[in-house]
Copies of this chain bind each other. A is one copy, B any other.
Amino acid sequence: MSPMQPEFLAQFPEKLRSVGRIVERGIDALLQPTTSGDEIIRPKGLLDAMRYAVLDGGKRLRPFLLIETAALMDVPPAQALRAACALEMVHGYSLVHDDLPAMDNDDMRRGRATVHRAFDEATAILVGDSLLTYAFDILADAQTHPDAHIRLKLVQKLAQAAGLGGMAGGQWLDLAAEASPRALTQAEILQLQAMKTGALLTCAVASGAILAGTSPGQTRALLTYAENLGIAFQIADDILDVEGDAATLGKQAQKDAERNKGTLVQILGLAGAKALRDQKLEAGLKALDEAGFGDRAQWLRAAAHFVAHRES
């Protein structure tokens, strides 16, 4: 395995923030009252709520993974930016809908009021709907990439990652599990989490690979990296729910146990969960080595370490 060069790990938070600022500007430019050359009316109140939902917050991890995967094959960040913004809008939509009273009923997100609290519930539903819908408009547009087949692959990959067989299906399974008296098995938790959070993280890497035109073998290795990163991400999340505090998290801690959410921490204990997290991290890094990008993949390596050991 290529050794992780410590300077990449140390510099990773600043690198992530730097890409995050590019994404922030990209989303800001896409969410303007009018778009050049057309007369589409965008209701100001709804647009403002969409901006509240997706600007000034979030680590932009999914856009980062997309942009840095594309960069493995020298795709400049500007060329991957629209796809990255579309992906982040879908992530944002999922948070807005998950926070709704009928779902997770959260009042706080990233240290401020959730969209249905800051505006109202109907607006929050429509903010999510509109962000999701807009993502496909962005991806299908010729500005995203000159090759029509690449744009179609981006659309279909995102739709499958976000839908019934991915994120939305995983959220439904999560709510069904909460309401069930039976505890989930480890295999069921892994399946649920692969859909609920893993699918969109994997979609980020897959979309980067689509833009970069990586070989089938490299793509398979990158997806294995992403799947393992997704599991490590989720276990880190479950650990934070137990060990973290509300101030650092920007949301209430210890909600999983309160809500009867089955997590790997409950099944394996903290030590067992941490061991599995580190095992998935190693598996992800090994797959990345096998993809054969060598030192070019240092930021993706650092991302995996960061995700597995993050503190918020």
Contacts and interface: CB of A to CB of B under 8 A. Distances in A.
A195 B130 CA distance: 13
A45 interface: yes
Contacts of A93: 129
A173 B122 CA distance: 11
Contact of A148 (B50, B130, B152, B163): B152
A100 B129 contact: no
A165 interface: yes
Interface in A84-131: 93, 97, 100, 102-103, 120-123, 125-126, 128-130
Instruction: Please state the number of chain copies in the assembly.
Output: 2
A136 to B, nearest CB: 4
Interface string A147-174: 0110110011011101111101101110
Interface stretch (A35-43, A217-225, A268-276): A35-43
A163 B45 contact: no
Contact of A122 (B41, B159, B160, B175): B175
A133 B42 contact: no
A164 B97 contact: no
A190 interface: no
A125 B103 contact: yes
Contacts of A56: none
16 contacts: A97-B125, A100-B125, A102-B120, A102-B122, A103-B122, A122-B175, A125-B125, A129-B132, A129-B168, A132-B132, A133-B159, A133-B163, A136-B159, A148-B148, A148-B149, A151-B152
Interface of A: 40-43, 45-47, 50, 93, 97, 100, 102-103, 120-123, 125-126, 128-130, 132-134, 136-137, 139-141, 148-149, 151-152, 155-156, 158-160, 162-166, 168-169, 171-173, 175-176, 191, 195
Given A40-B160, A102-B125, A103-B122, 11 more contacts: A43-B169, A46-B168, A47-B164, A122-B172, A129-B132, A133-B159, A137-B155, A140-B155, A140-B159, A151-B152, A152-B155
